Structure 1
């Protein structure tokens, strides 16, 4: 599971915020619309982890963000975690420092997948106005504003956790993407970016329609969404019984109780076309959980994804199993321990599909 709200080290491929060189991914590591059956080849097991496989790959990079005015920090606290207060209950994951670290780590994983690029859409030139929906820590919006000083970048989120010191061409609003958008006719966007909102949106068709209505003709919409479902190609997932139970329960809580789908990634291509977008393209990347693939790049991505998953099991369990299904904290803690143990099991060759889907509003 992606464990995402929107939102983010060292890397041999690209550092956060860098613009990478063009690349030509190999079929055995990266999947796109033409290669959805790509495979991740397994690294031979030598029995002992190499120095590059140790958990120190995660350097704890944090956004170290400073909150906005205290008058709007109406937070909720439970199970040792902090949650947003605005539109309470609309989003079940926390917004505390630990969660912000997870989101910034996820941002780095996205950069690795895109070779340092912040988006996959073929923008012909830097857009004048950019909207980042569900901006989280604001790290994507800040990076985009830094790389494109001529663009005006707006990030929106339910939580005021973004830094106060930001590029002059970036700003953040507290807003609910599911409410009516109130941008004027002269405030339409050239590019709208949505990332990691699976489990946070009730009506994705409406979101696509609102985005279409607020994009200038010729502008682009891009979704970057992990599919909240762990898979394996060699049958090892069958031994991860806790993981299977956990992801089934989380998805049932989200879709049947909260009415917000977690496995939305595979549906976005059709939704964009239904909303009227053209030149719709879908790219699928298999992201390993752990450094088990042979390919060096996917091994590195898997190392970070393992840490991201280990960090995300707790908030998803406390949110969906605890808050939604009514599990006690003790029951949640037992499940968390079991699933994290399987995430760190080197004999389980699990992965998650990440969907990069974009479309253009016709001229």
Structure 2
């Protein structure tokens, strides 16, 4: 298990070839699991309350694909953490493993003693990593306590806020830090990575795994400027920075890592389809799951940014989302995005 877990990008790219015109329908509705609980109602969804919560004075919730950063008086509300959202997080974990050919990491890690999973969400990555590396002590951190009570002996979970002073002892140093699907969750990434660098052993690795929140089409001419998806993603790009947390952030992490002092930074992007249109079986499976992800995440993403940042009404948003969902579920659009894997090392 030591060494880099290289992703066979060439094989994936070759599978993009032609669309499968004979493969019918969307499989998104058939893919779900079930899990746990919640906190506060807003815009028809339950959100974790932070600020005046029982979990401390915090400013956001660590949950994958930070979908809806909301700013309202006396409280910050973020990504919903209800059962529907937790199911989506578990599905997203499965998607990352599919993209990586079943692997959990791409960093060339060797013998590990301590591993930190920031924004652990439901804790699946931390649990599976602890199982694959039984000699390592794995700590999963999140602001939302939605992890299982029963866990591996070498895996623990902690409620903590990465934008505040760490709850764990400063003397605790990590050999490997893992971050996944946290775009839209941090106000100051440079500070966060400087803090991460301080908490790592010399020669330790950090790895960031993130889907870019920008979608393209393989059709000639690409995605039309007047398409609903293009309009939607431009609105998200406009609204999310107004709330201090840009959602489409995958391409920006490298600069923050360099500023913090990391070295040996490597970036790998993997083209990933949306929907069942590829002929290649592996790509088709990835596409079906990503299509399901978008169907689950769209409303949560859009409500926060468009209502709080851009002043849209919920009725206006639902009209837009109806068109966006229609396009995301139309396999003739040949939609895809990119999954980013960024690794960096703390100097020896």
What TM-score range do you get, normalising by the shorter chain? 0.7 to 0.9
**RMSD of equivalent CA atoms:** 2.5
The equivalent residue for 2:343 is 358
For residues 119 and 325 of structure 1, the distance between their equivalents in structure 2, rounded to whole angstroms, comes to 37
Deviations along 1:33-86, one digit per CA (max 9) or x if unpaired, are xxxxx893232424xx35xx6516843123x24x6xxxxx7x321222100112
The equivalent residue for 2:99 is 113
For residues 345 and 50 of structure 2, the distance between their equivalents in structure 1, rounded to whole angstroms, comes to 32
The equivalent residue for 2:83 is 97
Corresponding residue SS for 1:150: coil
Residues 197 and 189 (structure 1 numbering): CA distance in 2 closer, same or farther, change over 3 Å? same
Residues 323 and 167 (structure 1 numbering): CA distance in 2 closer, same or farther, change over 3 Å? farther
Q: 1:246 aligns with which of 228, 232, 239?
A: 232
**Contact 2:28/2:291, CA 8 A, preserved across alignment:** no
Alignment map for 1:1-363 (pairs within 5 Å): 25-27=8-10, 29-30=12-13, 40-46=16-22, 49-50=23-24, 54-55=26-27, 58-62=30-34, 64-65=35-36, 75-87=39-51, 90=60, 91=69, 92-125=78-111, 127-234=112-219, 235-238=221-224, 241-255=227-241, 257-363=242-348
Cα displacement (A) at 1:104: 0.8
**Contact 1:237/1:349, CA 8 A, preserved across alignment:** no
**Contact 2:15/2:283, CA 8 A, preserved across alignment:** no
**Contact 1:236/1:347, CA 8 A, preserved across alignment:** no
Residues 238 and 332 (structure 1 numbering): CA distance in 2 closer, same or farther, change over 3 Å? same
**Contact 1:57/1:304, CA 8 A, preserved across alignment:** no
Cα displacement (A) at 1:270: 3.0
For residues 139 and 248 of structure 2, the distance between their equivalents in structure 1, rounded to whole angstroms, comes to 27
**Contact 1:236/1:348, CA 8 A, preserved across alignment:** no
| Number of residue pairs the alignment of both structures matches | 324
TM-score with structure 1 setting the length: 0.82
More divergent stretch after superposition (236-245 vs 222-231): 236-245
For residues 42 and 97 of structure 2, the distance between their equivalents in structure 1, rounded to whole angstroms, comes to 32
- Identify unmatched segments of 5+ residues in structure 1: 1-17, 31-37, 68-72
Cα displacement (A) at 1:22: 6.9
For residues 343 and 153 of structure 2, the distance between their equivalents in structure 1, rounded to whole angstroms, comes to 27
For residues 165 and 113 of structure 1, the distance between their equivalents in structure 2, rounded to whole angstroms, comes to 28
For residues 100 and 27 of structure 2, the distance between their equivalents in structure 1, rounded to whole angstroms, comes to 23
Cα displacement (A) at 1:357: 0.2
Residues 357 and 301 (structure 1 numbering): CA distance in 2 closer, same or farther, change over 3 Å? same
For residues 42 and 258 of structure 2, the distance between their equivalents in structure 1, rounded to whole angstroms, comes to 41
For residues 292 and 213 of structure 1, the distance between their equivalents in structure 2, rounded to whole angstroms, comes to 45
Residues 22 and 321 (structure 1 numbering): CA distance in 2 closer, same or farther, change over 3 Å? closer
Deviations along 1:134-191, one digit per CA (max 9) or x if unpaired, are 1111111111122222221111112111111121222222211111335434301111
Residues 359 and 22 (structure 1 numbering): CA distance in 2 closer, same or farther, change over 3 Å? closer
**Contact 2:217/2:334, CA 8 A, preserved across alignment:** yes
Cα displacement (A) at 1:215: 0.5
